[in-house]
Structure 1
């Protein structure tokens, strides 16, 4: 874990040096191919690990992560360090607050607080607002941009899953619901989805129930696996040139249904699953255990404008973030706020794909504010009027206008929930 700006700079230099070494290994034609592959894989693994630490530090220091939680006592040192970084404190600044020498904080963090007394840990926890549940809370206590991870699946308290709701939906069959939930999760997702390899990045206006997130994710991956095993899913390529075809489908009366078929043909599994209580989700993007992208929508709002924007927002995560070194699963509430650069990028991706910025500036409906103007602009741009109507409603924060143009009650009838 990176503790300071100096370590951050050193780590970036390490990545650069390892990258040079990787290039040399790949270009060394005198080495046997098998040996080159072994060395290349080892270097790539080292680079990925350091890049993940760099991203973690960036997320914490930028304020993009406002809340994190862990349930293993062994994770307490990591939580204390995360809390310090997320609150913008250097080791020296924390030491000054506690009337300590900076070197003492440096030693504590370097040894993961193994030499700290209980009274000192309590003092540090109080100063950093770390609760006994081993979580830290930044300045924004509503946790609008949260990051959840466990050290391993053994840390997960399966009794805290929404067991009754899962049983009601037919996901659990056994009498021991907690054990059934564990088995269901392990079968559908796998233990790696409850570890730091699959950290959950949540954009929400409310602090979400992370156990409901895990349960919902397992269900989504279970449905996606069914699509994959049935042969419906084509190989995926990291190429978004076909998205214009998806934009044109917005004009089709069966656009949502055809969109799912198009995504499958491009190697992306589109899953529809209602959100669980306490998650406030509109959509999510993640990688399945086999490596293909999964986009999940809850259809919390059965409207075309919501469907198209959320779909393209999640596709933004697919093409911009899922295959980067972030290693995050993204869970989004459309109305979630916060100054998260990652979510801003996905928002901008969706807006530009649906209506390029220059074209948007030329839309007269933004000023005329009439149904007729929206219909004219939509015809000119070759998109469904709901997209323009929904964007104007959101930009003006006026959800009483264009009610007849947003495509209410159209999506669910095409995309039956819980169906592959």
Structure 2
């Protein structure tokens, strides 16, 4: 074990210079004459008010036969320590901001390291976001529930923590960096979605790697990130650059019908809407914007053909056997049909047909 010495005081390089003056019995005025500076400048260097410049370091080397590198290192270390002290004081004033973020969740999932020192924990948070301060966080992350640049689906019935949403989105960006994608190709993505529809009856250990691989070949990175506390987020869509899109999913509702609807909803944003917008889907409410309605309609129609759905409804047979047969015809999971019927108010949400829905769990649960 190495014990590190962290003094709470900072010694300016001028003190070393003052010791040399005493050793040689030289006055500040004499040194000023020898290096071509004013006595005032020498005095300010000794007090730490003026820096030892590279030019001054070379001059001191000649006078005392002590290398310029020595003086430059003293000055550099001194200025670094001063900056660190000022930074720590600045961070100390922002410590109370930590409680807004799900730090315990982040350290438990090893997204950041855990520190007992609050300043170090704050620095870990900044490293996670890739920013130097909360001021920078506000400019870069742009996660405001009322931000017009970000389209949110949310509810007023539950508290939503914007910092927690920001953490969830940032984690998705970090994971997406690790996925190598070919340049985005709209035609290939549409074709891939037809193939992905067939994955809905498979288990996550089967469909997740297939989904990620197929989408990456079209320029879309798909990542799965556990929902952060009070984020109430189910999915998000964002363009990381003009040739790479991100679809982020949380398994929030833990059911296959919700997961697949959310995925195709996000795919709808990619195909239908601007690359400049970020879409974050939180709790549903009754006031969705036009873009969200378009994405909803895309997902609904892509999963279940409108014409076939109309005929199925008209038949008025919603038995387990009928739903399973209809799902087989469409090549999708029966739970998706149940979810659609419940959403449209055709069958109740509390129904024996819920047994056709498949629930998912994260491995760490």
TM-score range normalised by the length of the shorter chain: 0.5 to 0.7
Asked if the contact 1:304–1:406 (Cα under 8 Å) also holds between the matched residues in 2, the reply is yes
In the TM superposition, 1:370-409 aligns within 5 A as 370-396=319-345, 398-401=348-351, 402-409=353-360
Deviations 1:71-118 (A, max 9, x none): xxxxxxxxxxxxxxxxxxxxxxxxxxxxxxxxxxxxxxxxxxxxxxxx
- Alignment match, 1:277: 229
User: Can you give the 5+ residue segments of structure 2 that lack an aligned partner in the other structure?
Assistant: 1-93
- After TM superposition, give the deviation of residue 257 of structure 1 in Å: 4.1
The correspondence of residues 127-138 of structure 1 with structure 2, limited to 5 A, is none
The worse-fitting range, judged by mean Cα deviation, of 253-262 and 172-181 is 253-262
Q: Which has the higher contact order (CA 8 A, sep 6+)?
A: 1
**Matched length:** 251
Deviation at 1:217, TM superposition (A): 1.1
Instruction: Indicate the larger mover: 244-253 or 382-391.
Output: 244-253
Determine the C-alpha separation between the residues in 2 that align with 1:367 and 1:378.
15
Cα separation, 1, equivalents of 2:342 and 2:208: 21
Q: CA RMSD in A?
A: 3.0
TM-score between both structures, scaled by the size of structure 2: 0.61
CA separation of 1:291/1:235 partners in 2, compared to 1, >3 Å: closer, same or farther? closer
In 2, Cα distance between the equivalents of 1:158 and 1:185? 14
Tell whether the 8 Å contact from 1:208 to 1:279 is kept in structure 2 after alignment. yes
CA distance in 2, matches of 1:193, 1:365: 51
- Structure 1 unmatched runs, 5+: 1-154
Number of the residue aligned with 1:16: none
Is the contact made by 1:283 and 1:295 (CA closer than 8 Å) also made in structure 2? yes
- From 257, 262, 277, the counterpart of 1:305: 257
Check conservation: 1:365, 1:377, Cα contact below 8 A. no
Residue 241 of structure 1 aligns to a residue whose secondary structure is: helix
Cα shift readout 1:138-177 (whole Å, capped 9, x = no counterpart): xxxxxxxxxxxxxxxxx9x953322232222212226322
Secondary structure at 1:407 match in 2 = coil
8 A contact 2:222–2:247 mirrored in 1: yes
Equivalent of 1:249 in 173, 193, 199: 199
In 2, the alpha carbon distance for the partners of 1:288 and 1:158 equals 28
Displaced runs of 4 or more, over 6 A: none
Q: Is 1:235 equivalent to 2:183 in the alignment?
A: yes
Q: Following TM superposition, by how much is the alpha carbon of 1:180 offset from its aligned partner in structure 2, in angstroms?
A: 1.3
2:177 corresponds, among 225, 230, 245, to 225
* Aligned residue number for residue 178 of structure 1: 122
**Could you tell me which residue of structure 2 aligns to residue 165 of structure 1?**
105
Q: 1:383 to 1:359 in 2, by over 3 A?
A: same
CA drift of 1:252 comes to: 4.4
